[in-house]
Amino acid sequence: MELLDSERGQAVQVGAILLFGFLVIGLSLYQATVVPQQTKATEFGAYLDASDDLVSLHNDVLATATRGVQSGVTVQTGVQYRPRVVFINPGPPTGSLALTDSRDVTIAGVDAVDGEPEAVRTLWDGGARTYESKVLRYSPSYNEFDGTPITVSGASVQREAGANVVPLGGQTLVSGNRITVVSVDGRIGQTAARTPLTVAPISSAARTVTVTNESDEDISLTVPVGSNATAWSRSPTADRLLENVRVKAVSDLGDGADPTNSLVRVTLNGSYTYELRLAKVELSSSSAASTVASPDGQYLVPVTTGASAAPGESTGVVVEARDGYNNPVEGERIDFTVTEGDASPTSRTITTTDDGRAGFAFAPAGDADGPITVRASGDLDGDGTVEAIEQTTYTVPLVNGSGGGGGTGAGDDGSTSEINPPQEDQDVILTGTTATNGNDAARISLNNTGTERVVTSFRVSFYYPDQGGNGAETASFNGSPAQNVGADQYTLGPDRVTLPSDATTDITIDFAANKNLDTRGDFFILTVQFDDGEFATYFVAVP
């Protein structure tokens, strides 16, 4: 009996061992087959999230380039697996984000049209101009899912799938007659499971240059797009580009000219007219300090049109410094000099503001009898020589003097605007200016020599502080809501000002919304519109 009991106990133990063995085998099979499939599905979802993040990043690059605002996005470069009690997840993978070496961006065959300033036409004279740009490359490194690299350039975002390129968004290089070339620079630090990136403006596309090819020859744009330019030139992105009647061809450069196969050339019909915008942005890890310097100024253009002056009365001229991307440059020192005529001051050095502009106020002598010539110049590129494109000259005619003449300029809506109207019948004349309201406002006196008129809108297009002072950001007219300096004409409602016939009316231009402002010695440009639709522009120097 004892022997039978012993044998029965051994059978139970053997069964338990076999059951445990089956359990171990089942768990092992699950770990070896099911867990990898679940891991692969999780990684695929993370890859799609990373793709969406990089599309958002490309949109941010364009927004920063054209609007001048810093933006950013966090890219999911890794994977967060779901927790498991029994089974084991693989180690967390982290893909890499890196910027390629700089490649040349070349714009060739472009001529600025006749309506552009002389310096712009000198710069864009049909020759080739070269810039540099990098491409962001995301290289995934998953445990199970075989994700292909994704590249983001200034022109497009795409997945590089072997011998093919799959666009993840539309290209931004050419749209209709608009050309937008964005140069990308910067440095990416170490990546983590989630990597925050920042896109900062270095030279935002604040100005547009109208271009063509004067000989009706081709215009070519050569830009980096990733590591497979051949596939890019045959992708749906290129096909959509070719739907534009202005685009003649999209191609790679070939092994001889481009061994890295990273550059694409877009050939445009040069008989068309295009709007050219250029910009430069910095792409970097959000925690990193900026490593990209702002470009130096390259040329100077006049801003004031049709200026005139009266003996003994203040007037002014404004110029704008631009960089090689055709955008305004802050901090450039501009030397203004009266080279002909009797006016004071005879010279002054002004530093450009954040809109790239510098203004010079002067007054012809009371007995001046000829035009005043003012030269503006600056060694913008710092090479020790002031070149022709780094200077411009104004010849300002006198009104009510032996020099005669007058000046007109374009209003915001394209209408004619009289600048500093002379003391003639039917004009509204600026007869005086004083600082008021604790010196954070200016009171102007307008003498209406004609029939009754009503000021219906206003605009302060430019404000330049006295050397070392603070500039105004907003202005209000006769108690109106504050408007940004440089904004469009603002239509006055209850704040309209009636100017009685043959009378002088005082109007307050209030800059009180600007902290620590002292208008004394400052200079601003005021444009008003009357109820008959006419405009008048006044160069106002506050004594």
CATH of the domain at 307: 2.60.40.10
Give a yes or no: residue 357 inside a domain: yes
Mind spelling out the 3-state secondary structure of 136-181? EEEECCCCCCCCCCEEECCCCEEEEECCEEEECCCCCCEECCEEEE
Burial class for 181, CB neighbours closer than 10 Å (0-12, 13-18, 19+): buried
| Other CB atoms within 10 A of residue 20 CB | 10
Cβ proximity of 120 and 326 under 8 Å: yes
Q: Would 316 be classed as within a structural domain?
A: yes
Count CA within 13 A, CB hemisphere, residue 419.
24
Question: Do 433 and 540 fall into the same domain?
Answer: yes
32: in domain:
no
Query: Domain holding 534: CATH number?
Result: 2.60.40
Tell me, yes or no, whether 308 and 350 share the same domain. yes
Contact 266, 279 (CB under 8 A): no
Q: How close are the terminal C-alpha atoms of the chain, in Å?
A: 126
DSSP character at residue 396:
E
Rounded to two decimals, the pTM is 0.74
Residue 31: per-residue pLDDT: 66
Query: What does the alpha-carbon distance between residue 120 and residue 125 come to, in Å, rounded to a whole number?
Result: 9
Please list, in sequence order, all residues whose beta carbon lies within 8 angstroms of the beta carbon of residue 176, skipping any fewer than 6 positions away.
244, 246
My answer on whether 170 and 225 are in the same domain is yes
CA torsion through residues 210, 215, 216, 222, sign:
negative
Residue 34 carries which DSSP code? I
Range of the domain at 461: 407-543
Asked if 327 and 206 touch (Cβ cutoff 8 Å), the reply is yes
Picking from 236, 264, 294, the residue at the C-terminal end of a domain is 294
Phi/psi for 94 (5° steps) reads: -135, 120
206 and 57 together in one domain: yes
Residue that the structure tokens 């019948």 belong to: 425
457 and 416 part of one domain: yes
Residue 78's Cα: distance from chain center in Å? 32
The reply to whether 10 falls in a domain is: no
Consecutive 10-residue runs of the chain (543 residues): their mean pLDDT? 55 73 68 73 88 95 94 90 76 89 97 94 96 96 90 95 90 96 93 90 95 97 94 95 97 90 96 97 90 95 82 86 96 96 92 88 87 95 95 87 35 43 70 86 92 92 69 89 85 91 94 76 86 84 82
Please check whether residue 448 lies inside any domain of the structure.
yes
CA distance 361 to 452: 31
Q: Does 210 fall in a domain?
A: yes
Output the pLDDT for position 2. 52
Domain boundary among 294, 318, 350: 294
Residue among 246, 92, 90 at smallest CA distance from 176: 246
Number of domains forming the structure of the chain: 3
Query: Strand, coil or helix: what is 227?
Result: coil
11 inside domain: no
In a domain, 172, yes or no: yes
396 and 422 within one domain: no
Instruction: Let me know whether 280 and 304 are in one domain.
Output: no
Domain boundary among 294, 327, 362: 294
Q: How far apart are CA 152 and CA 156, in angstroms?
A: 6
Contact 374, 382 (CB under 8 A): no
Amino acid identity, position 120: V
User: Do the beta carbons of residue 142 and residue 289 sit within 8 Å?
Assistant: no
Rounded to 5°, angle at Cα 535 from 530 and 541: 105
Strands, sheet with 483-484, edge to edge from the N-terminal-most edge strand: 428-436, 441-448, 503-510, 474-477, 483-484
pLDDT at position 88: 75
Give residue 417's pLDDT.
Answer: 45
Considering the domain architecture, whether residues 73 and 114 belong to the same structural domain is answered as: yes
Whether residues 160 and 175 share a domain: the answer is yes
**Same domain, yes or no: 221 and 97:** yes
* Cβ pair 183, 64 in contact under 8 A: no
Judge if 97 and 211 occupy the same domain: yes
CA 350 to chain centre: 24
| Domain co-membership, 278 together with 363 | no
Q: Where are the beta strands (DSSP E) in 416-479?
A: 416-419, 428-436, 441-448, 453-464, 474-477
